[in-house]
Amino acid sequence: MDEERACVGQGCSELLIQTNAIRSTDSNFLRFFEALLFLLAVFQLAPAQQLPPPEPPKSLPGSGEAPATLRVTTNEVLVPTLVEKKGGGILYGLKQSDFVLEDNGVPQKIHVQEDMDTTPVALVVAVEQGGVSALEFGKVAKLGPLLDLFLSDQRSRAALMGFDSKPHLLLDYMHSSEDMNDALEHLQPGDGGAAILDTISSAVDLLETQPKEYRRVLLMISEERDHGSKHTKPVQLIQKIGRSDVLVLSVSFSPSRAEFLHDVKDSGDDRYIHGENPLAAVEMLVKSLKKNVAKEIAQESGGEYTTFTGDKRFEQRVVDAAKHVRNRYLITFSPTNPTPGLHTIRVKTTQDYGARIVARANYWFQQEH
């Protein structure tokens, strides 16, 4: 055989003898041996062949890996609404079907919470300490006991801010009015500023730390015009109030009688704009804020603006404000018009009860990516 001719030497002869033995005794084993060698050769070549890469795992819904989508932040608008009878007193017992709410002139589907006096209150009292406000400290000192009207249930709480050229937190949230009363009796005069815009902005931030289910109320005791705000522009405050659910109650001092009578008659209806020119509406609000910020912010939030001269009138104004806070119908709706910017609200009753309706004048619809 060829292998025998090519093989020389004692070792080679022994290998040929063993191979012949294997061939003669077990041909099946030889076939198995050859097949095994073939498989080893295949596996040695396998790494050189590149397999296709595995597909990456698919993202689960909501995992954050999907493309960004537009999110509307104003999903529900709260409209606290006071319905006051002509002779005074609250008109009770109205149902959802008794109200009509228009957003930029378009009726909306609404929900009305009929149990008005069951929601706890988060209250911030902001008292001006700057300028001539020290002349009113004697009246403000009597405010403490009146705050119990706001804190009539155990969950409600109040905080106290003072301000001159900038706001100061005098007392953080508490339920008892005793410490509040002591602080109000010992107010110290500030500098010549009256930073109302900055103070309202800070008070809204403070109120928004409280639970969402609370009625968030700012009781503002000040003059009418801002002097010295450095961090808040009128348009910024309009937007902030329009995005919040804070109810502003303004009690202002030292007005002229003519202006007071005008303020009582002015419900804001003459400034109603159906959203056809939102920029004009914002410009109108800015002008109003410069004239009387205390009044305008109260009206925009759905709160009330009032004035006082004597002690008894001041006390009665605060008592009325407290009663009206707890006797507002809470109307909510989800806007059907997603146009960003200022939206004008009008609330009416389906029947003419001859009542005075006090509700927020507008809100600010904001979208973010």
pLDDT, tens digit, for every residue of 61-92? Answer: 333 333 333 233 447 899 999 999 988 889 99
Runs of H (alpha helix) within the chain = 2-6, 10-25, 27-45, 137-140, 178-185, 196-207, 234-243, 257-265, 278-291, 293-301, 311-326
Residue 350, CB half-sphere, CA atoms under 13 Å: how many? Answer: 8
Q: How far apart are CA 195 and CA 218, in angstroms?
A: 15
Q: How far apart are CA 354 and CA 89, in angstroms?
A: 12
CB atoms within 10 A of CB 206: 21
Exposed, middle or buried by CB within 10 Å (0-12, 13-18, 19+), for 320? middle
User: DSSP letters along 268-293, please?
Assistant: SGGG---SS-HHHHHHHHHHHHHH-H
What's CA 152's distance to the chain center, in Å? 26
Residue 179, classed as helix, strand or coil, is helix
Does 66 fall in a domain? no
Same domain, 160 and 297: yes
Res 11: pLDDT: 47
pLDDT, tens digit, for every residue of 256-269? Answer: 443 444 444 444 54
| Sites in the chain below the pLDDT cut of 50 | 1-13, 15-17, 19, 21-26, 29-30, 32-33, 36-74, 255-267, 269-275, 369
Residue 173 identity (one-letter amino acid): Y
Res 176: pLDDT: 80
Does 162 fall in a domain? yes
Res 205: pLDDT: 97
Task: Give whole-number Cα distances, 237 to 202, 300, 306, in Å.
Answer: 10, 11, 20
Same domain, 150 and 224: yes
Same domain, 270 and 336: yes
Same domain, 25 and 105: no
Res 108: pLDDT: 97
Does 57 fall in a domain? no
Residue 253, classed as helix, strand or coil, is strand
Does 99 fall in a domain? yes
Same domain, 21 and 111: no
Q: For residue 297, what is the domain's CATH number?
A: 3.40.50.410
Res 257: pLDDT: 41
Same domain, 20 and 80: no
Does 61 fall in a domain? no
Same domain, 193 and 240: yes
Res 40: pLDDT: 45
Does 105 fall in a domain? yes
Same domain, 148 and 16: no
Residue 8 identity (one-letter amino acid): V
Does 63 fall in a domain? no
Residue 17, domain extent:
2-48
The tally of domains found in the chain comes to: 2
Same domain, 191 and 238: yes
Res 356: pLDDT: 93
Does 130 fall in a domain? yes
Same domain, 13 and 127: no
Asked if 134 contacts 123 with a C-beta cutoff of 8 angstroms, the reply is: no
Asked if 72 contacts 367 with a C-beta cutoff of 8 angstroms, the reply is: yes
Residue (of 41, 24, 119) closest to 330 by Cα position: 119
Residue 19 identity (one-letter amino acid): T
Same domain, 155 and 245: yes
Same domain, 311 and 262: yes
Q: pTM for the full model?
A: 0.71
